[in-house]
Amino acid sequence: MTKLTAHELLLLFKKLHDCTLCPRVCHADRSTSELGYCQSGVGYSIGSICLHHGEEPILSGKNGICNIFFTRCNMQCRFCQNYQISRNNGPIHEQRLTLAGVVDQIERILDRGATSVGFVSPSHFIPQMMAIIASLEQRGRKATFVMNTNAYDKVETLAMLGGAIDVYLPDLKYMDERLALEYSDAPNYPQVATRALTEMFRQKGAKIELDENDTIRCGLIIRHLVLPGQVKNSIQCLRFIAEELSPNVHLSLMAQYNPIPAVSSHPTLSRTLRQEEYEEVLCEMDRLGFNRGFIQSLESPLVYLPDFSHPHPFEAR
Ligand code: SF4
């Protein structure tokens, strides 16, 4: 249950008038045309609200998860699979909805049997995310709320969530600062993300809670996408998790990298991951003692590429 009162929610929205929600600390007044790095305002700009069966099995559950994809982002990864909705420059696929419009769509998906609601890339839409949760609860809906984030989050912002998030699903992308800047335009990413993960781990620990259908109810799952040519970065990420948090954390080690047109001439980002690269990272995962979580096969890339011009982005290709 969200512990934020209506007054606290209002205060959270007021923060958008001098926005310091994320590590960019733009101080933009998002109620005006003076937008910050994320080019996002005070409304509900949504790339898609859809039922998704392709997450880790304990997240998708037997009926799928209702994912809400916010548009734009506080990072700009050159290789982003969701580029049709996440770019901060140029046209994107988006729906501008009211809060009621968002919640109506979520309810229709919950009526189809989904038990979890996942917020994808919410770091720059925290007040909106909290308002959606509060509204669903006011309508008597019980769901598991999942925050699927790039981990470029401020600890102070995570601490304001008031226990409303049941499952943290951060993606630890880099421990290599140079790579974070070059690939994602994210200064100080390792420092920011490791602090954010430490806070998530403080809140949830390594244990997860499952329901009677083996769907996650509460806990922390850390994702890491292995990038082509960047095995060392991946190994550093795994070492941070094992040595500074715990090797008992649930880890999702992803091999699904798929080049998008924007990186078609990049020396390494233009190709998929090689078997030997993934295996090297898997060996380190074993050496570090990880024993809970998920790995992928290298056939994964074709399966996971969404098309947000389609009403069902994960069923379109
Ligand atoms: S949420 Fe957007 S406007 Fe606010 S600090 Fe981050 S990038 Fe800047």
Q: What is the pLDDT of residue 312?
A: 81
User: What pLDDT is recorded for position 4?
Assistant: 79
Q: Is the CB of 124 under 6 A from ligand 1?
A: yes
Q: Is the distance from the beta carbon of residue 74 to the nearest atom of ligand 1 less than 6 Å? A: yes
Flag whether pLDDT at 301 surpasses 70: no
For ligand 1, pick from 42, 71, 74, 149 the residue to mutate: most ligand atoms within 8 Å of CB.
74
C-beta of 152 in contact with ligand 1 (< 6 A): no
CATH of the domain at 131: 3.20.20.70
Structure tokens at 256: 């699904």
Residue 24 lies in a domain: no
- Ligand 1 centre distance from Cα of residue 82 (Å): 19
Q: What is the pLDDT of residues 50-71, one digit of tens each?
A: 999 999 999 999 999 999 999 9
pLDDT surpasses 70 at 302: no
pLDDT the model gives residue 313: 85
> Does the Cβ of 192 fall within 6 Å of ligand 1?
no
Identify the pLDDT of residue 74.
Answer: 98
Please tell me if the CB atom of residue 73 comes closer than 6 angstroms to any atom of ligand 1.
Answer: no
Tell me if 143 is assigned to some domain: yes
Q: What is the largest CA-CA distance in the chain?
A: 54
At 314, list the tokens.
């994960």
pLDDT at 305: 77
pLDDT above 70 coverage of the chain, percent: 97
pLDDT of 2 over the 70 cut: no
- Highest mean pLDDT out of 4-8, 91-95, 147-151: 147-151
Amino acid at 307: D
Question: Would you say residue 304 has pLDDT above 80?
Answer: no
Q: Is 11 in the pocket of ligand 1 (CB under 6 A)?
A: no
Write the DSSP string, 182-198.
Answer: HHH--TTHHHHHHHHHH
Q: Are 67 and 110 in contact (CB under 8 A)?
A: no
Domain span holding position 80: 44-304
Q: Can you tell me the mean pLDDT for 224-244?
A: 98
Strand partners, 209: 218
Nearest by Cα to 104 from 141, 71, 69: 141
231: CA distance to ligand 1 center in Å? 31
Give the CB-side neighbour count of residue 19, counting CA atoms within 13 A: 27
- pLDDT recorded at residue 1: 56
Atom of ligand 1 nearest to the CA of 16: 4
> At 66, which amino acid appears?
C
Nearest residue to 267 via CA among 86, 89, 76, 79: 79
38 lines ligand 1 (CB under 6 A): yes
Residue 100 pLDDT greater than 90, yes or no: yes
Residue 56: CA atoms inside 13 Å, Cβ hemisphere, count?
26
> Looking at residue 303, what is its pLDDT?
60
Q: How far is 245 from 260, CA to CA, in rounded Å? A: 33
CA gap 207, 268 in Å, rounded:
36
Nearest CA to ligand 1 atom 1: 124
Residue 18 within any structural domain of the chain: no
Q: What is the mean pLDDT of the chain?
A: 95
Average pLDDT over residues 278-307: 88
Mean pLDDT of 305-313: 82
Domain count, the chain: 1
Q: Tell me, what's the pLDDT at 108?
A: 98
- Pocket probe for ligand 1: among 25, 38, 150, the residue whose CB has the most ligand atoms within 8 Å is 38
Instruction: Please say if the pLDDT value at position 195 is more than 90.
Output: yes
The CA–CA distances, whole Å, from 282 to 81, 98, 137 equal: 23, 44, 41
The finding on whether 154 has its CB within 6 A of some atom of ligand 1 is: no
Asked if residue 7 belongs to a domain, the reply is: no
Residue-level pLDDT at 176: 98
Read off the pLDDT band of 300 (50, 70, 90). low
- Answer whether residue 1 is part of any domain: no
In this structure, is residue 30 part of a structural domain? no
Does residue 317 carry a pLDDT above 60?
A: no
Report d(CA 196, CA 222) in Å as an integer. 12
pLDDT single digits (tens) 127-163: 999 999 999 999 999 999 999 999 999 999 999 897 8
For residue 297, report the distance from its CA to the centre of ligand 1, in Å.
Answer: 36
Q: Over range 108-129, report the average pLDDT.
A: 98
Q: How confident is the model at residue 311 (pLDDT cuts 50, 70, 90)?
A: confident
- pLDDT at residue number 182: 98
228 located within any domain: yes
Pocket test for ligand 1, best of 13, 25, 37 (most atoms within 8 A of CB): 37
**Ligand 1 geometric centre to CA of 42 (Å):** 11
pLDDT at position 5, please?
Answer: 87
| Residue whose C-alpha is closest to residue 129's, from 21, 205, 238 | 21
**In a domain? residue 92:** yes
Residues 46, 70 contacting (CB under 8 angstroms): yes
- What is the Rg, in whole angstroms, of the alpha carbon atoms belonging to the chain? 18
Record the pTM.
Answer: 0.96
- Distance CA(79)–CA(87), nearest Å, equals 11
